[in-house]
Amino acid sequence: MLLTLINKLNIYRNWSLKFIILLVIISLYSCSERTDSEQIIELWKSNGSETKLAINYPRDKTIFPPEITSPTIIWDDKSSANNWTVYFESNNDIIFSSDILNDKEYQPDSAIWEEIKSKSKEKFINIRILGFKSGKDELSKIEKIISSGSVQIKTSKDSVNALIFYRTVTLPFGFAIEHLHSISWRLGDISSYQEPPKVIDSLPVCGNCHSFSTDGKFIGLDVDYGNDKGSYYIQKIDKKMKIEYDDIVTWSDYKKEDGDKTYGLLSQISPDGRYALSTVKDRSIFVRIPDLMISQLFFPVKGIIGVYDTKTKQFNSLPGANNPEYCQSNPSWSPDGKEVIFARAPYLKIPEAEKSNEVILPTSIAQNFIDGKQDYKFDLYRIPFNDGMGGEAVPLEGASNNGKSNFFAKYSPNGKWIVFTQAKNFMLLQPDAKLFIMPSKGGKPREMNCNNPNTMNSWHSWSPNGKWMVFSSKARGPYTQLYLTHIDENGWDSPPVLLEYLSVKNYAVNIPEFVNISKRGIEKIEENFMDNDNYSFIRGKSKLELGDLDGAMNDINKAIGTDPKNPHSFNVRALIKIEKGDYSGAISDFSQVIKFAPERFDAYANRASAKFNLKDFKGAIEDLNKVVELNPKGSRGYYSRATAKYNVGDYSGALKDYTQSIKLNPKNDKAWFERAIAKMQLGQLESACGDLNKAIELGNKDAVQYLNEYCK
């Protein structure tokens, strides 16, 4: 307090006035506040106290970084004390004592805290709290100290010397998903008393995992571009950045022809920024839980590790981590980029799920996991990266086959240690998650001192100098906060240091990562793809697939407004109109497709289908003539034209086209059945019966009735 008052004298320019005020301050301070605190301290030293109070924060033996902001000391006192004083001492010498307090928390001001840090550098000092009971102006009547407690703290010589990139998100998770604009990414400086600036704000799509190259030159970020959950942004770091369409890749492009969807979970960019790893061909349990504390259950049950090479622009799987019998996820690089650690569990095969190619399993399947009736545990495996060629996956001794679920492995920058998260089950947000440290080559893991008890501890990241680690924890309630721990050369870590000024009220802060950049290395990352016609096109197409016709129409209209000559956008809008029953509107849009891309036979075929619905069979035949001309080896064009000819009474023309369609695709049961009907119209009953038998053989049920009625 005295230091604070003295510092405020700087507002005065007159030195004589300064001196007079200084004398008054010292006089008042020594006669009142200082006397009160000293009186309490002396009383305790002479008589002790009746009970012990508990200091909740900081914990005993906490180590603070030299640049950290002033902490708020918090305690719990079960005695009848209603006033307290806090003092700091070294070797029985009092460094500073507080005013008389009537709340069970205290934060030294910045000037006092700097003095305390200087006196505790590389040596432990005491924080002692004394509790007593008094009424107003009754300090002189105090006869005894009711309660007391103390902890030791020290300030490390090791600076953190790095910024922390992290996300702030509203809770519960379901609310955040519906209010994406409320989520932001910030760049935190642990030495600042100001709220960290927003680097990414109001991103209109869901963004999750992020990672940086070791040198801080590249960033990788999930962006869910155009409703594609596999979209991933990779770019060189600059002060002001824009997420451009051309900088977005999608993990869905890996073996796209398979038709399996990909979310691209837990992606990680390589130390040199060239490669990225992710979970691909994945399937996950995902359930929203209406509970602020743990508001979702989310973990993969299927997947392999995919590799993207920014140099060749190629996607591949990582041999040794691509076994379809397992779920392989959560990859993490060694500091030299030569090795990868990932989490592995048996692929969860559920008959109901195997019928669908959806990435997220129905909630009904997840119920046993929610109720605790079914386990699912991950083991950690290591594998050589070998320039993307992979190798043999070997279980990490001490973090596998231990009856627990092990995940989120992170190498120390010097490659000596691995810190990983362990829980009873699953992955991601687990209420019992704890941090463990072990030698990187395997060995007996040790539960870390920094864990906050009885709550989640996870999402950790090493500082570039390897002296500190940041992690997320729910120690103070559902809104996750960030903590630091110091780790020495022997792997021993200190109790947690709360990063108070990185917290944001009513927001959970999570996914922290140290970034090796200067304080103004990143000022802003903004999206620059929302108005891109391709973005609107992709999102509109995705919404059409999901059955959101109005949403799809809105996005496709935007795409056409941005690029009015893009045939792909007109084609999707025409398909939306068909789903809505607007066949005339669809014909108009298909005509636009043909205008800008006259070689697209599918546009002629689709326009013919729309004309068919309007019973314009002659118009349909004209379009189908063009389909056959442009795609003479496609059976579908002949089949559709045959049906149109039949509807205008051209049975001979229909018979000819059905025959050609069957020649190109002999397994089309409908073509065999409808050719039989055309033959009947031409009086070729015996031949028609042969076609009906063939249609029945191929599984056509409609042919049975005709066979029984006409072919006895």
d(Cα 663, Cα 675) in Å, to the nearest integer?
12
d(Cα 660, Cα 639) in Å, to the nearest integer?
8
| Nearest of 66, 70, 64, 63 to residue 161 by alpha carbon | 66
Question: For 100-156, how does the pLDDT look when each residue is reduced to its tens digit (9 = 90+)?
Answer: 999 999 999 999 999 999 999 999 999 999 999 886 555 556 778 999 999 999 999
709 vs 393, residue with greater confidence: 393
Q: Which fold is adopted by the domain 163-527?
A: Neuraminidase (2.120.10)
Question: For 249-300, how does the pLDDT look when each residue is reduced to its tens digit (9 = 90+)?
Answer: 888 888 887 777 788 888 999 999 999 999 999 888 777 666 666 666 778 8
Question: What is the DSSP code (8-state) at residue 416?
Answer: S
Element holding 8 (H helix, E strand): none
Backbone angles phi, psi at 416, to 5 degrees: -80, -35
* H helices, E strands: number in the chain: 18, 35
What are the residue boundaries of the structural domains of the chain, listed by start? 32-155, 163-527
Q: How many CB atoms lie within 10 A of CB 580?
A: 13
**pLDDT tier at 574 (50, 70, 90 boundaries)?**
very high
What average pLDDT does the segment 662-685 reach? 93
Question: For 38-95, how does the pLDDT look when each residue is reduced to its tens digit (9 = 90+)?
Answer: 888 888 888 888 789 999 999 999 999 999 999 999 999 999 999 999 999 998 899 9
**pLDDT tier at 10 (50, 70, 90 boundaries)?**
very low
429 vs 131, residue with greater confidence: 131
| Nearest of 331, 284, 334, 288 to residue 308 by alpha carbon | 331
Q: Strand order in 417-423's β-sheet?
A: 405-411, 417-423, 434-439, 446-447
CATH 2.60.40.10 fits 32-155, yes or no: yes
Lowest mean pLDDT among 183-197, 204-218, 479-493: 204-218
d(Cα 482, Cα 503) in Å, to the nearest integer?
7
Angstrom CA distances, 126 to 40, 95, 488, 712, stand at 17, 10, 22, 104
Give the best-scoring range by mean pLDDT among 66-80, 227-241, 358-372.
66-80
The pLDDT of residue 11: 43
The pLDDT of residue 135: 64
